[in-house]
Structure 1
Amino acid sequence: MKSFVVASLLAAVATVNASPVPTPPGIPSASAAVTQLASLTVAPYVDDGGYVRSLFPTWITISGTCNTRETVLKRDGTNVVVDSACVSTSGTWFSPYDGATWSAASDVDIDHMVPLKNAWVSGANAWTTAKRQQFANDIVRPQLWAVTDNVNQAKSDQSPDAWKPPLSSFYCTYAKSWVQVKYYWALKVTSAEKSALTSMLNTC
């Protein structure tokens, strides 16, 4: 798994760092997202009470001394400098959720586009811990985003029918990314979630 992830990351970083605006890999076109959304199973969330974050191990080592968080910070930042432990010591990060720019990595969280608990109640409770680890550290699809820390905290584990990014201009990309993650990982959506995603895709 590790060698596959690293190879995919190298290709993604090469293309992403060419742009000043962070664009994690794997974001589908609007039309593809509409098709993917239509194919998802619609069902209520099933919360069995068994969710704990440790069932989705983060952050794993991606390459050398770099874990998933530091890898995403390097991928999505501009002029990022890291020390020997791969900790970001300088750089700037643009948070597409709210349009803020930060110069300290401590002000940036790595958001799971589809939150871990949302994944749990959407089907990941039936996965192995190894699969949940892959999901929680997925740098191949648009699952991990460097964003303003308090915006990430405000989102928490909410789906798009309960929380949307502060910037409405980002609704299209947000919905396309959310749908892609749920589609690839074969997770369910609720009817309210599907309705909200449909409305957001209509802004594309």
Structure 2
Amino acid sequence: MSAAACIPGASHEDAKPPSADPSTSASGGKNGTRGLSDAIGWLKMARESRTGYERDKFRLWTDADHDGCDTRKEVLLAEAVKKPRQGKGCKLTGGSWRSYYDDKTVTDARKLDIDHVVPLAEAWDSGASKWTAQRREQYANDLGAERSLVAVSLGPNRTKGDKDPAEWMPPTKDATCTYVADWVAAKLRWKLTVDQAEQTKLQQMAAGCPSTKVTFTPAP
């Protein structure tokens, strides 16, 4: 889950022919890699609705593999630039992380949020409202994709809140291509829709990211 690469979560494989249904273009367990603009074109457009949303409908920070470390700590361990010491009960001390939203180094895990790249409320708006509670729990604790969850500074994450890219982008310009690729990959992975303003903004951003490619694996 390192955020140090130029385009974390984006693949550098050669692009494969597009498919009208991206779920049918899997190759080696992954969907065909496409340029960012093409990948955005795979997203289904639909109106959003937040009716019935409650954050508690997404169960957070579970310990699916029963190793003593919940999802938050698993992300911190995976993304650490300098590994923290792991004590009893998965208590983490020391370590350092690079928050790619604001390009800052953080040396205190308590000053990091684990951000759902596509926020829970946004996921609800764009398809998760129809899911089972179990499916929403899987989404909220998605460790199966490197870029669905990222460790970032408190400030930009709190400013982001539930906003989509039409309303918020990372303050560091160098994070733009990474963030848009992460967003698109997460939405494709979970078959979430986009609204008109969101799609327009994503395509505007993609125009400045000609070498960025997106590969995603459909959520099980």
| TM-score normalized by the length of structure 1 | 0.85
Cα RMSD of the aligned pairs, angstroms, is 2.0
Aligned residue runs from structure 1 range 1-12, under 5 A: none
Q: Which runs of 5+ in 2 are unaligned?
A: 13-32, 210-220
Partner-residue secondary structure (3-state), 1:119? helix
**Partner residue in 2 for 1:145:** 150
**Is 34-43 or 88-97 further displaced after alignment?**
34-43
CA deviation profile, 1:18-69 (whole Å, cap 9, x unmatched):
x682789743458443322102111221121x11111110101044100000
- State the distance in 2 between where 1:103 and 1:127 align: 37
> Post-superposition shift, 1:81?
1.3
Aligned residue runs from structure 1 range 13-24, under 5 A: 16=1, 21=4
Q: Verify the 8 A CA contact 2:177 2:206 in the aligned structure 1.
A: yes
Q: Given residue 195 of structure 1, which amino acid in structure 2 is its aligned partner?
A: T
**Partner residue in 2 for 1:60:** 62
Q: Which runs of 5+ in 1 are unaligned?
A: 1-15
Q: Verify the 8 A CA contact 2:3 2:99 in the aligned structure 1.
A: no
- State the distance in 2 between where 1:47 and 1:144 align: 22
Structure 1 vs Structure 2: percent identity of aligned residues? 36
Q: Verify the 8 A CA contact 2:7 2:177 in the aligned structure 1.
A: no
Aligned residue runs from structure 1 range 1-204, under 5 A: 16=1, 21=4, 26-28=9-11, 31-48=34-51, 50-63=52-65, 64-77=67-80, 78-141=82-145, 142-204=147-209
- State the distance in 1 between where 2:148 and 2:191 align: 14
CA deviation profile, 1:121-145 (whole Å, cap 9, x unmatched):
1110000010011111112221100
**Is 150-159 or 39-48 further displaced after alignment?**
39-48
Note closer, same or farther for the CA distance 1:145–1:24 as it changes in structure 2 (3 Å cut). Answer: farther
Partner-residue secondary structure (3-state), 2:50? coil
CA deviation profile, 1:128-171 (whole Å, cap 9, x unmatched):
01001111111222110000012111100000000000011111
Count of residue pairs brought into register by the alignment: 186
Note closer, same or farther for the CA distance 1:107–1:23 as it changes in structure 2 (3 Å cut). Answer: farther
Q: Given residue 203 of structure 1, which amino acid in structure 2 is its aligned partner?
A: G
**Partner residue in 2 for 1:8:** none
